[in-house]
């Protein structure tokens, strides 16, 4: 394993755990900070089973300034940070905005303060939600950032602004913000995947939970949009492809390819799929028939979004490889694993 130590905050979460696997595969040494507020310590066992290496986890809250500073001082050889740790439920953020602003900003600010005198490459977990409903598709990184629809989305927008401004004045800091589209699927081992708390807010985990009997029918919110079959379009990306994008972002900064102190990249497939296409792909990939019904449009939903990923391909040397069928197949294998092991 490389002596390059990478701090992964929220490293036992959905995207974080997959990224830890890809970091180990690429020869990095990940150090996880996760207080398990939205994940499980069992994921450390799963990571060890997949990679043969048990990553170190440090259980504390990044909103604790003293604990964060002490941790950074105790590990002076950290060369990079991948920052996932944040609350992420859109609905909850509307109900509890201060909870989201406090957690998502204090954790980021404490990290930046703690590393302020150290040379560091920083990868930030951002979101395509910053675009709202784009004026043109596919949306590029140059598209205007629109007013956020939720406090969660607003934390991503403001965090990007904080990072861009700090990177200008802190010459030790290089930042790459990755604007994800819709991550789905699971690792091919079916040992890690998305484990939503409560009723899933996203389509694919609701589909898999419905198929296995945890939920009732799947509601397709609207079939009268200006899309091929009337249902909403999103750009779905396999979580393993997404994880590899973080490794590519680190390499990009380490190898001096980044001329700017702050960069933004779309991370998606560059192709949109409708809700009904996703349902059909799930049925085809798994052989399981879904019970779904057409409902009314849902307030706040945008009609269609998918990304232009040319910049990621050219500058990061990254592109997605796994298709929608594999996203559905792996997500279903993970759902069956959850049931069998009572996770």
- Cite the active site residues: 152
Sort 23 into a burial class: Cβ within 10 Å, 0-12 / 13-18 / 19+: buried
| Count of CB atoms situated within 10 Å of the CB of 168 | 12
Nearest CA to 178 among 146, 212, 130?
Answer: 130
Question: What values do phi and psi take at 163, rounded to 5?
Answer: -65, -40
**Secondary element (H or E) of residue 267:** strand 262-267
CA–CA separation, 209 vs 343, rounded Å? 13
Peptide bond into 79 cis (omega under 30): no
Which residues, including other chains, have CB under 8 Å from residue 75's CB and lie 6 or more apart?
5, 7, 31
| Cα 45 from Cα 52, distance rounded (Å) | 10
Give the span between the Cα atoms of 68 and 205, in whole angstroms: 33
Separation of CA 107 from chain center: 17
Both ends of the chain: CA-CA distance in Å? 30
* Residue tagged 């996703």 (tokens): 278
d(CA 89, CA 205): 14
What single DSSP character describes residue 141? T
Q: Which helix (H) or strand (E) holds 273?
A: strand 273-274
CA 123 to each of CA 142, 149, 261: distance values in angstroms, whole numbers, following the listed order = 19, 24, 12
């Amino acid at each position: 394993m490389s002596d390059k130590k990478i701090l992964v905050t929220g490293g036992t979460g959905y995207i974080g755990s997959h990224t830890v696997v890809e970091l180990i595969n690429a020869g990095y040494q990940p150090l996880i900070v996760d207080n398990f507020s939205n994940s499980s310590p069992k994921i450390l066992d799963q990571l060890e089973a997949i990679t043969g290496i048990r990553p170190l986890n440090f259980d504390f809250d990044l909103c604790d300034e003293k604990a964060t500073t002490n941790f950074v001082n105790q590990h002076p050889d950290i060369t990079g940070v991948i920052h996932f740790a944040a609350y992420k439920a859109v609905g909850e953020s509307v109900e509890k905005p201060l909870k989201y602003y406090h957690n998502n900003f204090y954790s980021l600010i404490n990290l930046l303060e703690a590393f302020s005198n150290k040379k560091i490459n920083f990868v930030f977990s951002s979101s395509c939600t910053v675009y709202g409903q784009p004026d043109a598709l596919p949306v590029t990184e140059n598209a205007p950032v629109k007013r956020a629809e939720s406090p969660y989305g607003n934390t991503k927008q403001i965090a990007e602004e904080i990072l861009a401004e700090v990177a200008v004045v802190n010459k030790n800091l290089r930042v790459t913000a990755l604007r994800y589209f819709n991550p789905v699927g699971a690792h091919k081992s079916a040992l890690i995947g998305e484990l939503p708390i409560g009723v899933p807010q996203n389509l694919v985990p609701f589909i898999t939970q419905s198929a296995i009997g945890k939920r009732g029918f799947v509601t397709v919110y609207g079939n009268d949009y200006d899309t091929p079959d009337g249902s909403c379009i999103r750009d779905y990306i396999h979580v393993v492809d997404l994880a590899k994008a973080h490794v590519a972002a680190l390499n990009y900064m380490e190898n001096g390819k980044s001329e700017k102190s702050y960069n933004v990249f779309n991370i998606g497939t560059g192709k949109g799929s409708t809700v009904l296409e996703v349902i059909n792909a799930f049925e085809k990939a798994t052989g399981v028939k879904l019970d779904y019904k057409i409902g009314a449009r849902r307030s706040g939903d945008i009609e269609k979004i998918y990304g232009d990923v040319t910049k990621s391909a050219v500058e990061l040397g990254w592109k997605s490889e796994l298709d929608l069928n594999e996203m559905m197949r792996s997500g279903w294998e993970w759902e069956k694993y959850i049931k069998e092991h009572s996770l």
